[in-house]
Structure 1
């Protein structure tokens, strides 16, 4: 009897095991409680191209849709990513707080009241032109980019108008001039100038290397570009002259802040001059903490000049205070 029972048990046991496993697969749902992901503030791929300041609010935008935001003047930061993960090239904010971000593939986003980002198809769904800069000037948002792209919007960034240049030329940056006019630094050594709010443009060719930025302090204007290109005007842009290069590095931006001109660019290039008309007096500036990477943007603030690139920091007096660090 015992032998017979064991025999039947031996025959049934594989089926019992199979049945139990089938039941578990059908009716038992495993639960997993993974630990929360602690996304680092900085990633190794990060590179920043532009920044904006609005009171104590600071933004920095860059590669793969990365957007860093600070609500306390740069003391602490949080990270978000604009949908699409395209490189973000520029950011601007109006005096009322409307925020616009532009990037690759003609993409443009506007920050909504609920904190979300709404994309606006200003160039159409099949756009390929990279949008390189956005600036708020005299009540309007202005955007420039590749293939002669030039856009203008109202202060709420709701209605966009195409004023594009009928020429296959890259427009790198747009700034206000000394006399309620507009200036665009472009490739092939060209400066574009408008005195009628962007309806028509006059073009000057200063050299062969691409111009990256132009800045005015009163009637004194400075334009900088690739391979250390440097051009100077003393009459609000009516005439320009080339100044002997003080560096062979590409220069990506220039500004004037509290009595000195500052220029920055590739491979750690950072220079300053305290001459009112900076035809000379340029000296290499090596504040502690400055690395040898590129820096593409100089932004004037009440506390100093925001330096934006692989690093993001604040230049004041003779010091550099790094605002975004890996261990934050």
Structure 2
């Protein structure tokens, strides 16, 4: 009897095993616990359009896909921030109290106070062309500018926005305030705008046909740069502008004065320098970047660069900042 039972079990066992495997394949779903992958600080697809600073060694870079990089010369301090809306960020600015404000496509703004969370606000921009191109801290509040003549002014907390837009289908690229308190905006179609009533009204002047990208003032002298390598200079506080010779035909995206010289940067990694804003020469730093230069920022005796690469000009040398692994915030 026992032999018969064992024989029957031997016959049934293979079918039981096959049936069990079939059941497992159909109804039991394997689960895998993936190991968390460290987020690289920067990725090959990252590009950056603006830079600002809090303190002497804390920099903020605004980039595509809602990315803000935060860091300085110490690689261990870098962090990567991802905004709650995945849009390209075009501009970033910091207040005297350390509030950080980034702006970008679709009229989105993102503010961060201290070590808090990023808070988003969407400004009422055009449905056709609603890109905010630049933001600046101008002493007591933020100004954000962009396509379709968009101009917005806020208080020091980056709240309570006021619409001060310029009529017309024109893209606005850069905004600054001179020593006399006059606001200046560079724009498409060779136009520069100014306002002596804090943006309540604007008057424009055409300096040519190339788009004007950036404007800066220092000690009574003003410099404007733009597409095609154009450079304009004023020695009377912007009452009149004169075209000056440029050593490049590359588009120039930014101009600053670092306390001792004028610097301009643009497409193809081109860098120019001038003592007086009138005579310019090409600057070729050691190990220089070949990607576009979007923004320049004075930081003590260095100049921080945002663009296809990020880094600094220190004397006659270019130092690319490290693409190390950082902390996602």
Determine if contact 2:106/2:122 at 8 Å carries over to the other structure.
no
Determine if contact 1:106/1:127 at 8 Å carries over to the other structure.
no
Distance 1:217 1:74, change over 3 A: farther
Which residue, 298, 311, 314 being the options, matches 1:313?
311
- Cα distance in structure 1, aligned partners of 2:248 and 2:43: 31
Corresponding residue for residue 115 of structure 1 = 116
Shift in Å, 1:318: 1.9
Distance 1:194 1:70, change over 3 A: same
Unpaired runs of 5+ residues, structure 1, are none
Shift in Å, 1:11: 3.9
- Cα distance in structure 1, aligned partners of 2:79 and 2:245: 43
- Cα distance in structure 2, aligned partners of 1:14 and 1:126: 67
- Cα distance in structure 2, aligned partners of 1:77 and 1:113: 16
Q: Give the match's secondary structure for 2:168.
A: coil
CA RMSD of aligned residues (A): 2.5
Corresponding residue for residue 162 of structure 1 = 163
Determine if contact 2:125/2:150 at 8 Å carries over to the other structure.
no
Determine if contact 2:183/2:199 at 8 Å carries over to the other structure.
yes
Corresponding residue for residue 179 of structure 1 = 180
Distance 1:113 1:246, change over 3 A: closer
Corresponding residue for residue 230 of structure 1 = 231
Distance 1:30 1:198, change over 3 A: same
Q: Give the match's secondary structure for 2:257.
A: strand
Matches within 5 A, 1:6-21: 6-7=7-8, 9-11=10-12, 13-15=14-16, 17-19=18-20
Which structure is richer in relative contact order (CA contacts within 8 A, separation 6 or more)?
Answer: 2
Q: Deviations over 1:264-318 (max 9, x none)?
A: 10012101112x3x211x2211111212210010111224211111121222322
Q: Give me the TM-score of the superposition, normalised by structure 1.
A: 0.90
Shift in Å, 1:222: 0.4
Shift in Å, 1:38: 2.0
Shift in Å, 1:76: 3.8
Number of residue pairs matched? Answer: 324
Determine if contact 1:77/1:324 at 8 Å carries over to the other structure.
no
Distance 1:100 1:73, change over 3 A: farther
- Cα distance in structure 2, aligned partners of 1:171 and 1:128: 12
Determine if contact 1:57/1:73 at 8 Å carries over to the other structure.
no
Matches within 5 A, 1:1-328: 2=3, 5-7=6-8, 9-11=10-12, 13-15=14-16, 17-19=18-20, 22=23, 32-55=32-55, 56-70=57-71, 76-112=77-113, 115-123=116-124, 128-274=129-275, 276=276, 278-280=277-279, 282-325=280-323
Q: Give the match's secondary structure for 1:134.
A: strand
- Cα distance in structure 2, aligned partners of 1:80 and 1:126: 27
Q: Give the match's secondary structure for 2:11.
A: helix
Determine if contact 1:218/1:236 at 8 Å carries over to the other structure.
no
Shift in Å, 1:194: 0.3
- Cα distance in structure 1, aligned partners of 2:216 and 2:320: 25
Determine if contact 1:184/1:193 at 8 Å carries over to the other structure.
yes
Determine if contact 1:58/1:74 at 8 Å carries over to the other structure.
no
- Cα distance in structure 1, aligned partners of 2:93 and 2:34: 39
Q: Give the match's secondary structure for 2:65.
A: helix
Q: Give me the TM-score of the superposition, normalised by structure 2.
A: 0.90
Distance 1:162 1:127, change over 3 A: farther
Q: Give the match's secondary structure for 1:291.
A: coil
